[in-house]
Amino acid sequence: MPADLPDDAFPTTNGSLNRKLRMALVGGGSGSFIGRVHATGAVLDNRAEIVAGALSSNPERAKKSAPSYAIPEDRAYTSIHELVEKELARPEDDRIDFVSIATPNHTHFEIAKTAAEAGFNVVCDKPMTFDYAQAEELVKVVEGTPGVFALMHNYTGYPLIRQAREMCLNGDLGEINAIRSNYIQGWLRDAIEQEDQKQASWRTDPSKSGAAGAFGDIATHAYNIGRFMTGCLPEEISCNLKAFVEGRKLDDYGHAVVRYQNGALGTVTASQISHGHENNLYVEIDGTKASLVWRQENPNELWVRQNGQPAKLYTRDPNAPYLSALAAGSCRLPSGHPEGFFEAFGNVYRAAFDAMIARSEGTSFEGRSETTRDTLYPNVYDGAEGMLFVTKSVESSEQNGAWVSLKNDYARR
Amino acid sequence: MPADLPDDAFPTTNGSLNRKLRMALVGGGSGSFIGRVHATGAVLDNRAEIVAGALSSNPERAKKSAPSYAIPEDRAYTSIHELVEKELARPEDDRIDFVSIATPNHTHFEIAKTAAEAGFNVVCDKPMTFDYAQAEELVKVVEGTPGVFALMHNYTGYPLIRQAREMCLNGDLGEINAIRSNYIQGWLRDAIEQEDQKQASWRTDPSKSGAAGAFGDIATHAYNIGRFMTGCLPEEISCNLKAFVEGRKLDDYGHAVVRYQNGALGTVTASQISHGHENNLYVEIDGTKASLVWRQENPNELWVRQNGQPAKLYTRDPNAPYLSALAAGSCRLPSGHPEGFFEAFGNVYRAAFDAMIARSEGTSFEGRSETTRDTLYPNVYDGAEGMLFVTKSVESSEQNGAWVSLKNDYARR
Amino acid sequence: MPADLPDDAFPTTNGSLNRKLRMALVGGGSGSFIGRVHATGAVLDNRAEIVAGALSSNPERAKKSAPSYAIPEDRAYTSIHELVEKELARPEDDRIDFVSIATPNHTHFEIAKTAAEAGFNVVCDKPMTFDYAQAEELVKVVEGTPGVFALMHNYTGYPLIRQAREMCLNGDLGEINAIRSNYIQGWLRDAIEQEDQKQASWRTDPSKSGAAGAFGDIATHAYNIGRFMTGCLPEEISCNLKAFVEGRKLDDYGHAVVRYQNGALGTVTASQISHGHENNLYVEIDGTKASLVWRQENPNELWVRQNGQPAKLYTRDPNAPYLSALAAGSCRLPSGHPEGFFEAFGNVYRAAFDAMIARSEGTSFEGRSETTRDTLYPNVYDGAEGMLFVTKSVESSEQNGAWVSLKNDYARR
Amino acid sequence: MPADLPDDAFPTTNGSLNRKLRMALVGGGSGSFIGRVHATGAVLDNRAEIVAGALSSNPERAKKSAPSYAIPEDRAYTSIHELVEKELARPEDDRIDFVSIATPNHTHFEIAKTAAEAGFNVVCDKPMTFDYAQAEELVKVVEGTPGVFALMHNYTGYPLIRQAREMCLNGDLGEINAIRSNYIQGWLRDAIEQEDQKQASWRTDPSKSGAAGAFGDIATHAYNIGRFMTGCLPEEISCNLKAFVEGRKLDDYGHAVVRYQNGALGTVTASQISHGHENNLYVEIDGTKASLVWRQENPNELWVRQNGQPAKLYTRDPNAPYLSALAAGSCRLPSGHPEGFFEAFGNVYRAAFDAMIARSEGTSFEGRSETTRDTLYPNVYDGAEGMLFVTKSVESSEQNGAWVSLKNDYARR
């Protein structure tokens, strides 16, 4: 066993709140992948517990799935509306604190709006909404309601992604010239949506997934990671989307070129038809002083290179003197003890929880900075920007890859 | 997001028990690494909750650490004896089900014995006891008490380690010829125990750690993984231990050669003085039909090689047709979504929980097979064998590497 | 040492010619990198010897460099014209057989034309000419002269690149959907051309390098490898070139999207400003039946993936039953004994030598197939296509990334 | 293309000798793997040419193989005796300079002795002789004759192995504590010697290979690399050899523990029965200040690690400021342009050639230092030490792994 973790390695209590935060899960009925991940990531630090859910709009399935989350029968709801109504009817000290949304894309908006307007905090899976219009409306909803709104761009929770961001922002890389983001998968190589595979069915259905397929599902992550790491602000985009699998209604492959306001050139590639590629998200950043490479499938490593020096392998290590306090503090285990996908989710939740505590204490937890994003967790503005990215990608692709503006007021470093 | 997980991908409830199992954590006071890992791994599937603890023998520290585990003040005990006494005094339906032991080695025996004799199930960190005599006694205690006893050889919980075991046992590798196990770390390169680093201090103190240092702490894992993967039974051992750091009382480096009963030749190397190596446990197996290589720092991959064929990279993939049901069923996430250290702990707990449920249902959960180990979780016999390995390693080393018998009645395939 | 190589593993003699081929090297004066590589690769199989050279247009340097190639003083010329004149004056059985051109780009055309028109075989480094007009003219020259013309797209000589090509052409990958080619270097990160670094100076000088910098120097390789591997024919291109280093006159970074006639989508990225990247050429191919990944910096490995199967690592292995005869026959060493850059050069030379022998025997060695390229070595048509790629890349970039046709009569599978 | 190579990057001429060295190859008849490697490596820098050979003791095969090395018929001999006699009969300025020996082990001694006593320089493949007695005798022969004697421990020619040596010798690693050398192959997994596979037949035949199989063939390399890298002097050895393949007369697997005089602990593992492992030689060194890992199958990389710092990847790079002059000067290509097996051979030859030139100039080229080996190329003392290693390994194994002294007067840092 390796070096000590500092006593305060990571917070495992909610400070002045002095109790666990109470979570309601929306979505996550049996067979749901992402619902289970939310449920696991949210409680990883013992700071939250699931007490209610609307796991499915199918009443039978909703009830049947509840025990697997230890949700009591009387809090196993079948809609966000029932959930909100009945939770609000409970005494304040027995009411949920936040709603986690893990449903197909087309339902996010209504659920998020309903929960936010009821005063609850919200953690929403991405993409934030079905389309950009909804996203803009949701921004207004969130701005007009008191709660925390966190968007689950889970990859931003990886310690070494955060390290990369801090290195970029503090100038370790110099000026950023190039951002190459790729998200390569193979699971939609065949038309499995025609065989009623649940994950595939809604993701390839324009009425549920939105205007884009792979670009909405995964290119948004790839683009977001590049934006999060570098803080470069977008200027315009040229995009080409393809549906290679016969009969598929949405893109399963796509490529975009992004020009950033500082002159950097970015590329975003997304594939769901690359045989045998599992979840191959990788990002390469070139700065005038150094370059970075990170791969999601081995997230505990970050390559840092400078001409004339040996390539350096930064590892996820809470004790590494070369890691920033934020990156080091995003680790739960000593180096060499692999962390993974759940922990990254847990880290986004951790930041959202800190904001929820701040809110409960009456402290300001958010405020739009003119220059830098103001929350560590991806927020509603990141969500709106993500939807703009999808919308503009589709728009460009429909115009044969013409340049389309990506400028927007939501984007911050 | 990738392919569906089957509805019953992994159990998240306790079946007929119909409630979470109640856990008491012994050890785990602030600054404890392994206590936190037990606490996280045990609850990962929502099948258990921590309700009590004896986090430290220092009363103040015990109380102070309790909130971080959400342990109520009245169940934050300061010794196993207080814990057992007060828990037994509670009504049966409000009493803990099991005790997890995450204390330094020299205290395991008394805690385990006390808990087992009180009728509780026990999950004990490794090495099981301070010495082999204690281990033999603990075997008798466990055989004479009704509870489950699981030893936390956590690496056996990795899905691809289990895959390797099944490939070996079902003959995919043919006859096993060679087992090379290595566990290389660097964190004890300097005499940090002299600077009062907690993890280092007790691990290098013969009165707390036992007869061996690195060999007790990590070579036991390396040896255990080789045994678990292959099922080969040991014949004899030749060992050389070294303390390279000046003033250190226990080995920080060591190497053993192991002869197995089937003629296989094994090697076990353990280092805690290899600069920059984090937790580099790797195992290579040679069979007459195929060979395997697995590395803990990237546990989601297993190399399988056969002459005349491309090397094959098996990945942790719950849907992979080439993985055994056990390995596939040990996954919580689709392929490409990295799992890590916590999940492996969770998998050992999962198997122990299944046994606890079986016990609660009056079903037999264990029975010594003549040929094959009878529990998926490492049990008291594995613990005894591990202590024998440490004892005989030291004995051989003291005799200049002479061959010493490793035969024992505890060993099963 | 590993398995036998077959007796006829690779040809080391020139068959009926019964002597070594006589080579003249043009370029390669002291400090030349690529001249030395030609000199080494050409003689690797003992089938050629360097007997003459025009190593530099600077007479002193030409003389001074000659001994390092064991070129006798009287055959150390100072221009292609002197070389041709004096060699033609020698008796036929003492005359050079071929000229290898390893000079800066802007001089290729005249040298190649002069040598070809004198009846000599030519091996020319890439890019073939200074511009596309020259390339078209050179096609005509070569078509009207009797000699072999080989273009040194050296990466096509790697055994596993050839394996990839054969897998694509024989349908192992199904229909090709995507080709991602990247060539990432860092050596021009700083304005070293201003410090008179020789390699940098001419490569960043439009009067010597041509219309493009990185795109002419390395993107041509990346594009060529994708074309060579897949046989997909190009339709149109959209390109964005950048010069990130201040004061640089040619692109040091660029990105192109290529549409292929079969509907496949390609991307080509070239960078010479990515800190610490050495010669990171990598190509990813997606087909409907399988996908491939190959990286030049570890050229002895090729990843082959299919959904539902373990990823397979093909290695360069002359005895591997899974490699094609061509790939296996392109190896000089058993598997695990690394081959590299020189050997790839050697393989292109080997194919060119076979054609030279055929020519000497009066056998046809080339003839334009309607469907498939007719020489294993890259030829003058490949060179013309490469120049078209550069030309059209620049043209598109100057039009803000507009789509520009890449169709041409030179392209063959 | 990357950075300039310095003008004098590597010597390509023989200085005052002003001509190529003339080589005779003994062994290397058709089907010989290692003969071809010698022939290729020796001429790689254009400093030598093959002019004669005794390629086979079978006259017909000797003649038939000659053209593939461009050896003229009248210098294609059938024995070392014929070779020596006839070459000595030629005028001095037309006579060979050195003999390269690439025959099975049992013939090395006589060939080397004959060539040395005739005054020729010798480059001999390893292991140097059939047994240790021959080795000791050959030391005396070489000491009593004027020529250069180089032993082809080819792996010492890799630039990064040389870098590792210099880092160890100059103290960058501090005191050396551990040396783990492994050489894992799979090609003798089956009893292919019974199918008359040439390479396998003599290597598994005690009358041709010597007292050991895998340990003579490859463990000698692994041991030699550890010795070469660290300069640690051996004290004693404990060894266990096995023949796992039925009917095999020599070990195909073995493991040794080596104690060094400075207290370091070494291990040497050799396998020829590990499915799918090609030529997996890897070495790990632990020092008090840093650790190293190097793998032959990717020889262009060397890992250097220090606690508290990112792991560093040193690459083979002639321009790297962090590489020693020797390592940088052992490169023929810029970084990222892979070098391999032939180049390592070439580097040993290069050092031997330098000594041959020195001899021709009447300069001393060798002199036994009391502390450090005096030639960069492995010499007759390294060969004797290698034979002692094999002899003592077998002796220890026959005594059930008893410790046997490895001390010897040949060993130098």
Q: Cβ(B328)–Cβ(C308) under 8 Å? A: no
Average pLDDT over residues B286-296: 98
Q: Do the domain assignments include residue B364?
A: no
pLDDT, average across residues C61-68: 90
pLDDT of residue C5: 52
- Asked if residue B115 and residue B69 are part of one domain, the reply reads yes
Question: Residue D9's pLDDT is what?
Answer: 57
Question: Of the given ranges (A380-394, B54-68, B319-333, C139-153), which has the lowest mean pLDDT?
Answer: B54-68
Neighbours of D149 (CB within 10 A): 29
Residue B345 lies in a domain: no
Q: Which of A202-211, A368-377, C225-234, D6-15 has the highest mean pLDDT?
A: C225-234
Q: Write out chain D residues lying below 8 Å of A304, CB-based.
A: 310
Beginning with the edge strand found earlier in the chain, give each strand of the sheet holding D48-54 in spatial order: D48-54, D21-27, D98-102, D121-125, D149-152
Burial C88-110 (b: 16+ CB within 10 A, else e): eeeeeeebbbbbbbbbbbbbbbb
Instruction: Please tell me which of the candidates C308, C311, C321 has its beta carbon nearest to residue B313.
Output: C311
Burial bucket for residue B369 (CB in 10 Å: 0-12, 13-18, 19+)? exposed
User: Which of A173, A274, A396 would you mutate first to test chain C, the one with the most C CBs within 10 A?
Assistant: A274
Round to whole Å and give the CA distance between C135 and C127.
10
Question: Which of A275, A290, A403 is facing C307, going by the closest CB pair?
Answer: A275
pLDDT of D296 > 90? The answer is yes
Of C310, C314, C322, the CB nearest to B314: C310
Do B151 and B211 reside in the same domain of the chain?
Answer: no
> Which of residues B155, B177, B205 is at a domain's end?
B155
Q: Going by DSSP bridges, is the β-strand pair C121-125/C291-295 parallel, antiparallel, or unpaired? A: unpaired
Query: Over 60: is that where the pLDDT of A65 sits?
Result: yes
CA atoms within 13 A on the CB side of D251: 27
> Euclidean distance between the first and final Cα of chain D, in Å?
39
Q: Which residues of B touch D284 (CB under 8 A)?
A: 184, 274
The predicted-structure confidence for A205-233, as pLDDT tens digits, reads as follows 898 888 999 999 999 999 999 999 999 99
As a whole number of Å, the CA-based R_g of chain C is: 21
Q: Are residues B132 and B175 in the same domain?
A: no
From A109, A137, A155, the end of a domain falls on: A155
Give Cβ neighbours of residue A141 (< 8 Å, ≥ 6 apart). A112, A113, A116, A117
Q: For the segment C291-321, what is each residue's pLDDT rounded down to a tens digit?
A: 999 999 999 999 999 999 999 999 999 999 9
Interface partners of D (3+ CB pairs, < 8 Å)? A, B, C
The whole-number pLDDT of residue C6 equals 52
> Can you read off the two tokens belonging to residue D238?
């404990």
Nearest-CA neighbor of A43 among A65, A62, A27, A20? A20
Inter-chain residue contact B177 with D277, CB threshold 8 Å: no
Write out chain C residues lying below 8 Å of B315, CB-based: 310-311
Size of interface B-C (CB pairs under 8 A): 30
Domain containing residue B44: CATH number? 3.40.50.720
pLDDT at B3 over 50: no
Q: Is the pLDDT of residue A299 over 70?
A: yes
In a domain? residue B349 = no
Co-location of B400 and B254 in the same domain: yes
**If pLDDT is split at 50, 70 and 90, which confidence band does C1 have?**
very low
Q: Which residue has the tokens 């197939």?
A: C369
Identify the residue among A40, A126, A196, A209 best suited for mutation to test binding to B, counting B beta carbons within 10 A and taking the highest: A40
* pLDDT at residue C285, rounded to an integer: 98
What pLDDT, on the 0 to 100 scale, is given for residue D26? 97
In the listed set B155, B187, B213, which residue is the last one of a domain according to the structure? B155
ipTM: 0.95
Q: How far B8 CA lies from chain C's nearest CA (Å)? A: 20
Q: What DSSP designation does D180 have?
A: E
Same domain? A144 vs A161:
no
Task: Compute the mean pLDDT over every residue in chain B, rounded to the nearest whole number.
Answer: 94
- Regarding whether B151 and B163 lie in a shared domain, the answer is no
CB pairs under 8 A between A and B: 170
Residues of D in contact with C69 (CB under 8 A): 12, 46
Chain A environment of D304 (Cβ under 8 Å): 310
How far is the C-alpha of A256 from the C-alpha of A274, rounded, in Å? 17
Are the C-beta atoms of residues D95 and D74 closer than 8 Å to each other? no
Query: Looking at residues C165-173, what average pLDDT do you find?
Result: 97
| pLDDT tens, residue by residue, B120-151 | 999 999 999 999 999 999 999 999 999 999 99
Q: What is the mean pLDDT of residues B65-77?
A: 93
Q: Which residue has the tokens 């040929």?
A: B371
pLDDT tens by residue, A124-147: 999 999 999 999 999 999 999 999
Confidence category of residue C10, pLDDT binned at 50, 70, 90: low
Give residue ranges of B with CB < 8 Å to any D CB.
177-178, 180, 182, 184, 186-187, 189-190, 238, 240, 242, 244, 253, 255, 257, 263, 265, 267, 269, 271, 273-277, 284, 286-291, 305-307, 309, 311, 400-401, 403
- Bridging pattern class, strands C21-27 and C48-54: parallel
Residue B146 has which token pair? 């009704």
Closest residue of chain C to D49, computed from CA coordinates = C46
What number is the average pLDDT over the span C221-234?
A: 98
Q: Are A96 and A213 found together in one domain?
A: no
Given a cut of 70, whether residue A3 has pLDDT beyond it is no
Q: A1 pLDDT exceeds 50?
A: no
Residue written as token pair 């390609």: C266
- Across the interface, whether the CB atoms of A267 and C271 are under 8 A apart is answered no
Q: Is residue C325 part of a domain?
A: yes
Q: Are residues B205 and B297 in the same domain?
A: yes
For chain A, what percent of residues have pLDDT higher than 90?
A: 84
CB contact under 8 A, B197 and A300: no
At C9 the pLDDT is 57
Query: What pTM was computed for the model?
Result: 0.96
DSSP string covering A162-205, please? HHHHHHHHTTTT-SEEEEEEEEE--TTSS-GGGGT-HHHHHHT-
Say how many domains are in chain B.
2
Per-residue confidence band for B2, with pLDDT thresholds at 50, 70 and 90? very low
The larger pLDDT score, comparing residue B28 to residue D166, is at D166
Residue D46 contacts residue C68 (beta carbons within 8 Å):
yes
Assess if residue B370 is contained within a domain.
Answer: no
Q: In the predicted model, is pLDDT for residue A337 greater than 90?
A: yes
Determine how many CB atoms are found less than 10 A away from the CB of residue B6: 13
Contact A291 C274 (CB under 8 A): yes
Highest mean pLDDT among A6-20, B112-126, C28-42: B112-126
Q: Which residues of B touch C314 (CB under 8 A)?
A: 310
Q: In chain C, what residues touch D277 (CB-CB under 8 Å)? A: 336
Q: Average the pLDDT over D320-328 and give the result.
A: 95
A161, A120: one domain: no
Cα–Cα distance for residue pair D340/A309, rounded to 1 Å: 22
D308 within domain boundaries: yes
Neighbours of chain B (3+ CB pairs under 8 A): A, C, D
CB nearest B322 (choices: C310, C313, C320): C310
User: Rounded CA gap, D195 and C401, in Å?
Assistant: 62
pLDDT tens for each residue of B232-262: 999 999 999 999 999 999 999 999 999 999 9
Under an 8 A CB cutoff, do A338 and B334 touch? no
Same domain, B292 and B214: yes
List pLDDT tens digits, range C108-137. 999 999 999 999 999 999 999 999 999 999
pLDDT for position A364: 87
Cβ of C310 within 8 Å of Cβ of B315? The answer is: yes
Neighbours of C72 (CB within 10 A): 11
Interface probe, candidates A175, A182, A187, A275, chain C, greatest C C-beta count within 10 A: A275
CATH number, position D292? 3.30.360.10
pLDDT the model gives residue B10: 63
Q: Is C335 close to D279, i.e. CB distance below 8 A?
A: yes
Spatial neighbors of D232 by CB under 8 A, at least 6 apart, are: D176, D179, D226, D260, D261, D262, D264, D266
| Residues C178-226: tens digit of each pLDDT | 999 999 999 999 999 988 787 888 888 888 888 999 999 999 999 999 9
Is B26 a residue whose pLDDT tops 50? yes
Q: At CA B374, angle to CA B371 and CA B380, rounded to 5?
A: 105
Domain that holds residue C183: 158-331+381-405
Look at residue C115 and tell me if it is in a domain: no
List chain C residues with CB under 8 Å of B316: none
Q: Is residue D58 part of a domain?
A: no
| Residue B239 sits in the same domain as residue B252 | yes
C-alpha radius of gyration, chain D, whole number: 21
Q: Do D257 and B287 touch (CB under 8 A)?
A: no
Work out the mean pLDDT of chain D and round it to a whole number. 94
By a Cβ cutoff of 8 Å, what residues of chain D touch chain A? 304, 308-315, 320-322
Whether B282 and B193 map to the same domain: the answer is yes
Region A336-345: mean pLDDT is 98
Q: Tokens 């004198």, residue?
A: C118
